[in-house]
Structure 1
Amino acid sequence: MITSVKNEKVKEWRKLKQKKERDQKGQFLIEGFHLIEEAHNSEWEIVEVIYEEDKVDIGELAQYEHFGVSDNVMTAITDTKTPQGIVAVVEKKMMTSHVEKRALLIDRVQDPGNVGTMIRTADAAGFDTVMLGRGTVDLYNEKVIRSTQGSLFHLNIVEVDLAEEMEHLKAEGITVWSTGLEQATGYHELAVPEKVAIIVGNEGSGVAKELMAKADQNVLIPIYGQAESLNVSIAAAILMYHVGGKRA
């Protein structure tokens, strides 16, 4: 059992809490049986499993390289207040920006809970691709991963230059809808294209103007009460379910 936070393996695991280290090593941490099972069932490469040896039975996960640790070590490598007693190191998977029919484009959204929730909703609504633009929180941030509830492992998710990708999407016959108020039409008034990408933007400033200008259509969600705006993940959910349920 590893009991010291000064152990070299523990130092390696703790470094993966930093984006720079995740980018360099091409690996990230996930916590809890649910996420680890989702990674396993989705055929992502699990590098190693770390577990509290005196509290957790890892069962079939013993097929992976595994390390028993004490509770103080588990606390040091996890981000939650009440660790579940099991963590895995997972290899990043190379994805492509190819879109089959439905894509969500995320522009500079910085709240990890919002990004994770949108990925989870995209999965539920039948989307195949999520694109994270520059300035958006890191996909492998611990809070993003937790908020996806495993949907991270089900979708094609890429980090891209959205301006470039929007040009590629349009060249491939995919209609791009942007949320925004300028010259916008209510989403329920529009026919749903056979192939569509929806772009949503930063919590405070919305979609960047240069990206909005590249869109085929600006769409809005009517507000009937006195709220000034909708949370970005709620707005994305409304639009994704509107188009996701109307497949050609």
Structure 2
Amino acid sequence: MKKQISSVQNTYIKQLVQLKDKARERKKSGLFLIEGIREINLAVKGNYKIDTILYYPDLISETKLDTFSNLAANSIEVSKDVYEKLAYRDTTEGLLAVAKSKNHTINDLIFQSKNPLILVAEAPEKPGNIGALLRTADAANADAVIIANPKTDLYNPNIIRSSVGCVFTNQIATGSTDDIVAFLKSKNINIYCAALQASVNYHTQDFTKPTAIVVGTEATGLSDNWLKHATQNIIIPMQGEIDSMNVSVAAGILIFECKRQRNFN
């Protein structure tokens, strides 16, 4: 018998609203919400386990629904009111998924390449910036994204949305700055810090060896521990009146210089 939920007061739906809105609930349950066909497809491609599929039949064809219903043991038809309560957007084709989160500890990182290229961001807060960083890393096919001293959990719906699902396609780790510095050094990965102090122009450096590009927030930059352990601090020459640019734009310039030097391999 097909399961249906029509009331926003349903206990399970209330739990899902908590998952959507509260990082504490996501962490406690190990579950999070994914909205949209593209994002769910990317989560499956990234080997995320789908726990439940929820759908609003007026927005999704039976053919598409058959494809996604097979992903999970549970499939629930929801009413328009329930769908609108759970969805951030009204253009996501009537599909939501409850998925199981992954472990993102630094020691779980596995590099397929002997010459890895890694993007490190210290203490990013804005989901839009985090999403843009993840899109940049995906576009460059970086080996990993590492977030030091994270301020926002990875399964925040705004990160999933702003990354257009790239939160699922990147290999991601989180940890303290101290632990990440120690990890990079143990792997003999050169550390290039985007910073104003004691810096050289970024294009003068050799990024063809194992490389970590490290960016900080626009407000405070990188902590001293990064600068102390950097192979070299690097800077993007600025020709206007200001001395910084959006962190995701800076990361894109630096990562793609690395790719250019590696002949986009």
Could you state the TM-score of these two structures normalised by the residue count of structure 2? 0.88
Letter in 1 for 2:40: I
What residue number does 1:158 align with? 173
- The count of residues paired between Structure 1 and Structure 2 equals 248
What residue number does 2:145 align with? 130
Letter in 1 for 2:242: A
Report the identity percentage.
31
CA distance in structure 1 between the aligned counterparts of 2:179 and 2:45, rounded to whole angstroms: 33
2:22 is the counterpart of 1:15: no
Contact 1:175-1:193 within 8 A present in 2 as well: no
Structure 1 outlier segments of 4+, above 6 Å: none
CA distance in structure 1 between the aligned counterparts of 2:223 and 2:137, rounded to whole angstroms: 21
What residue number does 2:31 align with? 27
Contact 1:38-1:153 within 8 A present in 2 as well: yes
2:175 is the counterpart of 1:175: no
- CA offset at residue 245 of structure 1? 3.3
What residue number does 1:203 align with? 218
CA distance in structure 1 between the aligned counterparts of 2:49 and 2:172, rounded to whole angstroms: 16
2:79 is the counterpart of 1:70: yes
Query: Unpaired runs of 5+ in structure 2?
Result: none
For the residue of structure 2 that corresponds to 1:54, the secondary structure is: helix
Contact 2:54-2:96 within 8 A present in 1 as well: yes
Tell me which of 66, 82, 85 is aligned to 1:59: 66
Query: Unpaired runs of 5+ in structure 1?
Result: none
Could you state the TM-score of these two structures normalised by the residue count of structure 1? 0.93
For the residue of structure 2 that corresponds to 1:66, the secondary structure is: strand
When structure 1 is superposed on structure 2, of 224-233 and 181-190 the one drifting more is 224-233
RMSD: 1.7
2:90 is the counterpart of 1:97: no
CA distance in structure 2 between the aligned counterparts of 1:213 and 1:175, rounded to whole angstroms: 13
CA distance in structure 2 between the aligned counterparts of 1:192 and 1:207, rounded to whole angstroms: 20
What pairs with 1:228-243 in structure 2 (closer than 5 Å)? 228-243=243-258
